[in-house]
Amino acid sequence: MFRALMSARRALADHGLIFNIHPAPDRSVIYCDAHEHRQVVGLVRSSRVRYRNADTAERRAVRRSLLTLRYTAVIPYMHYVSSMRKLRAYLEAEWCGAWMDRATKRRIRALLGSRAVGPLVIKEWVRVSLLRKR
């Protein structure tokens, strides 16, 4: 992680900026729009170790006075998925080390079996940070 950050720093002009966006350690919530209400159906769980390591790499670069942290925030990021099958495939393909527990899967199946159900919505918290080369 730190090596990647330093490699990016080298490629930057003086006082250039690094914008980093990645998932925050918070769990992601799955919603479903059903019967005119948005219902929470469960959580996407993941280890997020990789992203914690990325935050550590950022802090290390700041501590060593290689970069300055100009801004950081955590914002909600939404994913809309049309079916349970797509959701499972999406998590497998795009979310490293993520999974749903059995209760979540069961609730989604039950909801999708009823009528008037909108897409599955994953609300993920992502961390954005802006760093400047020193």
Partner 1 sequence: MRGVRMDPEGVELAALDRLLPLTDKRLLEIGCGDGRLTRALAERAASVVAIDPNRRAIAKARRTLPRGLRGRVRFDVGRAESLPYPDGAFDAVIFSWAL
Name the nearest CA neighbour of 95 among 33, 28, 37, 31.
Answer: 28
Q: Does 40 sit near partner 1 (CB under 8 A)? A: no
Report residue 103 CA to chain centroid gap. Answer: 22
Name the nearest CA neighbour of 67 among 124, 14, 123.
Answer: 14
State the amino acid at position 45 in one-letter form.
R
**Taking a C-beta distance cutoff of 8 angstroms, is the pair 61, 7 a contact?**
no
The contact pattern for partner 1, residues 90-129, with x = CB under 8 A and - = no contact, is x--xx------------------------x------x-x-
Minimum CB separation from partner 1 for residue 77, in Å? 6
> Which of 64, 86, 106, 134 contacts partner 1 by CB under 8 A?
86
**Taking a C-beta distance cutoff of 8 angstroms, is the pair 43, 26 a contact?**
no
Which stretch, 26-34, 36-44, 76-84, 97-105, contacts partner 1 (CB under 8 A)? Answer: 76-84
Report residue 68 CA to chain centroid gap. Answer: 24
First CA to last CA distance, the chain: 19
Minimum CB separation from partner 1 for residue 115, in Å? 20
Minimum CB separation from partner 1 for residue 16, in Å? 5
Which residues lie near partner 1 (CB under 8 A)? 1, 3-5, 7-8, 10-14, 16-23, 54, 57-58, 70-71, 73, 75-83, 86, 89-90, 93-94, 119, 126, 128, 130
